[in-house]
Structure 1
């Protein structure tokens, strides 16, 4: 028995070590490729982050322009809009699942949310392209329906299951004594939800929001199909734009490996990795804070 436990313990430790090494390897590889914009082709970090002039040379001599501000602003605007749309619906669904009608939710709503998670992103993009984009064009009388709004709505639907599931689990994990004490003081169910459950579950809800935002930043195909991929800053939610993931997905295959264009795209990928790590650190800080408060 002890021998079997030792073997399984070693196997689990090896799997954990492999995941750590894989993560570190990906980070090192992206740093090696992405930092070439600054070390090999001598561009500044300021130019990459804050300049809108994007015209890298597709050769090994350099001399082009690598301002990625349009793509960064496009990613931020689309993701924030998606978060503004998805969060209220996700929180309402989580409260319904965890408090108002848990039995019905376990039979109907929970399976529906799980189905949303399993739908491929290309399906979301295709539905957005064929239904949402023409609808926005017709409603707002636009020349084209490709816009930040279309990308935000598609992303909101995609991150809805993540925020909902994490928020519902967080609300379910609130000790039952909290509700009993509130009801004993004469609170209504709405008062219990608003003043007891949601504040107590706030760290978990914020964790779900951050995880949803992290997924939104990393999504490429679905967003690329509905935002228009125009190299311009968005002037409003009805204007087309471009973002980091769409630029990487559409241009990486045609850029010469090791050229300035290729390396600039790798720098975009490195920026996305840094953003993902930042989100992970935020989630861990929120989670640890929630544990200390309890």
Structure 2
């Protein structure tokens, strides 16, 4: 009996040490994550804020002329900001409906064999490097956009020809790039809807399509909203692909204009910038960082509302 009690005490001590060790590891990981975010935030503020004081907030954020290497340099990034906003929103308007409907197809309509064939293709889209998307855009989309541009502006003497590298091409590339995120999260949200909802709707006489659009999709709206927000974050943070297909010129964000996004503005000029020019590029990074933080806050709010709705 005594040896048995000793073994029980020993096992309890070992379990207690294991629990404490695991708790310390979890605490260290959590503190590290918080410190990483805090350091990045502080670094972006310290690097990006000085240019706002030197050049002026209004001149940087509301200026429309970007000429950092001119004799009298100008650092207006309004068109760059608008391009990121317009390009991201258009990509979401194209990619989200396609992604959600594809998720509905995989979760509710596709035969099992076909679904097994489509899912690996979606996962393959998620694993393709962004530079490959850019190369595909150059080889396929740009020539098509150039032909469309020639058709639309045939005979025009005022249009600035882009050779197909324009906002519309960048939007299409971004729309394809956000598809895996939207499809995977939306499908997971649809599969998480209790089966009773579907069975009850069908039992009450609703058709399959009516059940999908009036029962399943509304029930999965919080997950789909999360997919949309993550898709926005994916699109607004992309650099390499759109750097190759957008033309990389600072212009009004019109479909057939060569444009520059916030991310590509930093990528294209950081290598040769110096002094105030480089500080303003960090300011662009700060603006992008603020946008992404806002998106994350929206995501947190959407998920919180979804959890509260689930509790009710």
Same fold at TM > 0.5 = yes
- Separation in 1, partners of 2:33, 2:141: 39
Match of 1:37 in 2: 51
CA-CA distance at 1:195 after TM superposition: 0.4
Deviation at 1:65, TM superposition (A): 2.3
The Cα offsets for residues 164-189 of structure 1, whole Å up to 9 and x where unpaired, read as 11111111111111112111111111
Cα distance in 1, alignment partners of residues 237 and 36 from structure 2: 19
> C-alpha displacement at 1:140, in angstroms?
3.6
What is the SS of the residue equivalent to 1:35? Answer: helix
> Is the contact made by 2:48 and 2:286 (CA closer than 8 Å) also made in structure 1?
yes
- After TM superposition, the structure 1 stretch with the greater mean CA deviation from structure 2, 218-227 or 201-210, is 201-210
RMSD, aligned CA: 1.7
2:293 alignment partner, one of 264, 277, 280 = 277
Distance across 2 between alignment mates of 1:104 and 1:46: 57
Report the alpha carbon displacement of residue 105 of structure 1 after superposing the two structures with TM. 5.6
Aligned partner of 1:47 in structure 2 is 59
The counterpart of 1:97, out of the listed 106, 128, 131, is: 106
| Contact 1:86 1:157 (8 Å CA) reproduced | yes
- Aligned equivalents of 1:253 and 1:48: distance in 2? 21
Q: 1:46-67 CA deviation, whole Å, 9 max, x = no partner?
A: 22221112233699xxx73221
Measured in 2, the distance between the counterparts of 1:133 and 1:57 equals 29
Which residue of the partner structure matches residue 186 of structure 1?
A: 205
Q: Residues 3-152 of structure 1 correspond to what in structure 2 (within 5 A)?
A: 3-39=17-53, 41=54, 43-56=55-68, 64-101=73-110, 103-104=112-113, 106-141=115-150, 143=161, 144-152=163-171
2-side partners of 1:265 and 1:289: how far apart? 36
Q: 1:34 to 1:102 in 2, by over 3 A?
A: farther
**Aligned counterparts of 1:224 and 1:210: Cα–Cα separation in 2:** 23
Closer, same or farther in 2 for the Cα pair 1:106/1:12, shift >3 Å? Answer: farther
Instruction: Give me the whole-angstrom Cα distance separating, in 2, the residues matched to 1:29 and 1:75.
Output: 23
Distance in 2, matches of 1:103 and 1:20, equals: 43
Q: Deviations over 1:7-64 (max 9, x none)?
A: 122112211211110111001000000001123x1x32222221112233699xxx73
State the 1:161 CA deviation: 0.4
Secondary structure in 2 aligned to 1:139? Answer: helix
Q: 1:55 to 1:238 in 2, by over 3 A?
A: closer
2:225 is aligned to 206
CA contact (8 A) 1:49 1:69 kept: yes
Structure 1: 5+ residue stretches without partners: none
Pair 44,104 (structure 1): closer, same or farther in 2 beyond 3 Å: farther
User: Given the two structures, how large is their TM-score scaled by the length of structure 2?
Assistant: 0.87
Q: Matched residues in 2 for 1:117 and 1:240: separation?
A: 27
1:243 maps to which residue? Answer: 261
Conservation of the 8 A alpha-carbon contact between 2:52 and 2:60: no
Q: Distance in 2 between matches of 1:284 and 1:231?
A: 33
